[in-house]
Amino acid sequence: MTPDELKEEISIEHVVYHGYGFQLEWNRMKEGMENIDDVFSIFNAKLLDFLQTL
Instruction: Name 31's Cβ contacts closer than 8 Å, sequence gap at least 6.
Output: 8
- Does position 52 have pLDDT exceeding 80, yes or no? yes
Of the pLDDT bands very low, low, confident and very high (cuts 50, 70, 90), residue 44 is very high
Q: What is the distance of C-alpha 5 from the center of its chain?
A: 9
Interval 35-45 mean pLDDT? 86
Domain borders along the chain are 3-53
Mean of the per-residue pLDDT values for the chain? 75
What is the pLDDT at residue 18? 55
Predicted local confidence at residue 4, as pLDDT: 74
Taking residue 32's Cβ as centre, other Cβ atoms within 10 Å add up to 19
Query: How far, in Å, CA of 31 to CA of 13, rounded?
Result: 12
What mean pLDDT is predicted for residues 31-48? Answer: 85
